[in-house]
Chain A
Amino acid sequence: MSFPFNANAPAAQPAATTGARKIALICAKGGLDECFPVLIMANAARMTGIECSIFFTFYGLEVITDSRVDHLHVNFVGNPMSPMPNMVAGLPGMEALGTSFMQKKMDELNLPRAREMVTMLSESGCDLYACELAMKMFDRTAADLLPEVQDIITATDFFEKTVGADIIFV
């Protein structure tokens, strides 16, 4: 009797779909708490054998910009789940304070930093794309981006590249 299990088969997919399971994540925000779900979910998808690509647009570009990726912050203002009142969260230094708390917690959990996360994703075969329009809006050039970024494409290109994928906007 052969080994009855298959660890390296992609996660089960609905009978209706054909082909390998795919997801396409759109990362439009650059906050530490806003981009990490994207990175973690993309990584988890790759670890589960799901094809994955991420489209970084608007402030999501911060995550793949070389000079910005190590300075992602958490914004507590306007967040109803924020642990401190908005009035206080808006004071100077509070953002940095909150960010350092969250970063400390993430380090305790041995979570990689955003830069390492991007590297990991790229190496695991996740396709990383920068939004062409957002690049123009924020005056970025290809040289500003991390080398892991595969290409600078338009939203149309992205949809064409991710035919059959579940689109997830974060």
Chain B
Amino acid sequence: MDAELNQHLDALHAKLDYIVERQRYTEDFIRDMTPVAREGMTALAGQMAEWESRGWFDLGNEMLSLFDRVANAYGPEDVRSLSDSAVQILDTLRNVTQPDVLAFANDATDVLHHADEVKPVGPLGMMGAVNDKEVQRGLAVGLEILRHLGRARSAASSGSERKPAPTRQSSSVRQSSSTRKPAPAQCEPRAAVEAPDLSDVVMWEGHRFTATGFLVDAADWTPELGEKMAAGLGIELTEEHWGVVMWARQDCLTCNASPNVRRVATGSGVGTKRMYALFPNTPGKSVAMIAGIPKPVGCV
């Protein structure tokens, strides 16, 4: 019985020894760590005091109240949808904060700062400015942004309202009046008269004609020659014909340019319709040919 008791006491002693040993270690640890911990606490307190002085806690409080307000203003669904688009928001934020974008924004604010020095631009100035390469590039970018804006807008608006097509009123009948211009008194502005092509000169009745049948030298012309030429064209010259032919010849000698149909018709006063009746098919050429003047140029 004693032996058993002794055995128990020994075991207890050993355990106590172990505990005392551990206690000593702990005390040693505490003794060693106390200054360190004190140091750390002081540092932490100091740090917190500094945060306090910087207003971080105030900020934190404000942030909390901000969250509170957000929570009040927005329902849970709003917040959920916000969190759904968080990635998009962050993407946008990242894109916006790219160095080149920031540099651009900085440049833009620079321009705003110097806005007083910019001169006002009118429509003509705008036309001039558009010639500038940089402005052109800027316009292209602006237009691209506008396009995206429009696309986003049309995507956002679900139903487009339809406007009734404006009905066009038929214009009132106006009494048409003859607005023909008076006969041009002065010579028409024309390119310098080219020398006739003399490579294929044809002789007829002792006079030189170009390959297309116009008298080379207007001075060779006589009324008799004109009559013969008209007969060759199948035209019997009446008083009216002569009036037109002589007007054309006179006009050509005055202006040094062969008149064409419109000029002859208005100048001589016979009118276009009568011109085509007197000199069928090709009135301009026929008149010039009979009048012994060069082939008329132009197409009116």
Binding site for B on A (CB under 8 A): 1-10, 40-41, 43-44, 46-49, 65-68, 84-85, 87-88, 91, 93, 108-112, 115-117, 119-120, 123-125, 138-141, 143-144, 146-147
**Which residues of the other chain, B, contact A49 by a CB distance below 8 angstroms?**
280-282
B279: A residues at CB distance < 8 A: 8
A5 x B276 contact (CB < 8 A): no
Q: Is A47 in contact with B280, judged by CB distance below 8 angstroms?
A: no
**How many Å lie between the Cα of A48 and that of B188 in the bound state?**
21
Given contacts A3-B204, A46-B276, A66-B174, contact A119 B168 (CB under 8 A): no
* Complex: chain B residue closest to A148, CB-CB: B176
A116 contacts B179, C-beta separation under 8 Å: yes
Our pick among A4, A67, A91, A115 for the contact of B204 (Cβ within 8 Å) is: A4
User: A5 to B212, Cβ gap below 8 A?
Assistant: yes
Distance between Cα atoms of A167 and B188 in the complex (Å): 33
- State the main secondary structure of chain B at its contact with A: loop
Asked if B201 is an interface residue, CB under 8 A from chain A, the answer is no
Q: How far is the CB of A109 from chain B (nearest CB, A)?
A: 7
Residue of B nearest to A88 (CB): B127
Q: Give the interface segment out of B2-10, B91-99, B284-292.
A: B284-292
Contact of A123 among B130, B209, B235, B276 (CB under 8 A): B276
Min distance, Cβ A168 to any Cβ of chain B, angstroms: 15
**Nearest B-chain residue to A109, judged by Cβ:** B189
Segment among B35-43, B192-200, B225-233, B240-248 that sits at the interface with chain A:
B225-233
Which chain B residue lies CB-closest to A143? B173
| Listed residue (A1, A4, A88, A146) with the most chain B CB atoms within 10 angstroms of its CB | A88
Q: In the complex, A107 Cα to B262 Cα: how many Å?
A: 14
A110 close to B184 (CB less than 8 A): yes
A-B contact count (CB 8 A): 122
Contact (A67, B127) CB under 8 Å given A3-B233, A4-B202, A7-B285: no
Decide if A124 touches B273 in the complex (CB within 8 Å): yes
Are B276 and A67 interface neighbours, CB within 8 A? no
A123 with B300: CB separation less than 8 A: no
* Docked pose: A163 CA to B261 CA in angstroms: 28
CB contacts (< 8 Å) of A112 on chain B: these are 181, 262, 300
Q: What's the Cα separation between A44 and B189 when bound, in Å?
A: 19
Please, which residue of chain B has its CB at the minimum distance from the CB of A51?
Answer: B281
> A144's contact among B171, B228, B273, B283, by CB below 8 Å, is which?
B171
The digit string for B108-131, where 1 denotes a CB below 8 A from any CB of A, is 000000000000000100110010
Mark contacts of B147-186 with chain A using CB atoms, 8 A cut-off: 1 yes-contact digit, 0 otherwise.
0000000000000000000001111111010111100100
- The A-contacting residues of B in range 212-232, CB under 8 angstroms, are 212-213, 228-229, 231-232
Given A3-B204, A65-B171, A66-B173, A84 and B281 contact (CB-CB distance below 8 Å): no
Q: Is the CB of B289 within 8 A of A5?
A: yes
Is B30 an interface position by the 8 A CB rule? no
User: In the bound complex, do residue B173 and residue A144 qualify as a contact, i.e. CB atoms below 8 Å apart?
Assistant: yes
Q: Decide if B234 touches A8 in the complex (CB within 8 Å).
A: yes
A109 to B184, CA, bound (A): 13
- Given A7-B289, A8-B234, A112-B262, the answer on whether A119 and B276 have CB atoms closer than 8 Å is no
Let me know if B66 is at the binding interface, CB within 8 A.
Answer: no
* Interface CB pairs A-B, < 8 A, 13: A2-B232, A4-B204, A4-B232, A5-B233, A43-B300, A47-B260, A84-B127, A88-B126, A88-B127, A116-B179, A138-B168, A140-B170, A147-B176
The answer to the question of B139 belonging to the interface, with a C-beta cut-off of 8 Å to chain A, is yes
Cross-interface CB contact of B170 among A44, A48, A91, A141, cutoff 8 Å: A141
Task: Choose among A5, A7, A125, A140 the residue with the greatest number of B CB atoms under 10 Å from its CB.
Answer: A7
B232 touches A5 (CB 8 A): yes
Give the distance to chain B from A130, nearest Cβ to Cβ, in Å: 14
The answer for the CA separation of A87 and B232 in the assembled complex, in Å, is: 60
Minimum distance in angstroms from B57 CB to a CB of chain A: 57
Closest to A70 in B: B179
Q: Which residues of chain B have C-beta atoms less than 8 A from A141's C-beta?
A: 170
Q: Kindly state whether residue B250 has any CB partner on chain A within 8 Å.
A: no
Chain B nearest CB, measured from A99 CB (Å):
16
- Residues of chain B contacted by A68 (CB below 8 angstroms): 171
Excluding A88-B127, A110-B188, 19 further A-B contacts by CB distance (< 8 Å) are A1-B204, A4-B202, A6-B232, A7-B213, A7-B286, A8-B279, A9-B282, A47-B285, A66-B171, A66-B176, A87-B130, A110-B184, A112-B262, A116-B180, A120-B272, A123-B273, A124-B272, A138-B168, A143-B173
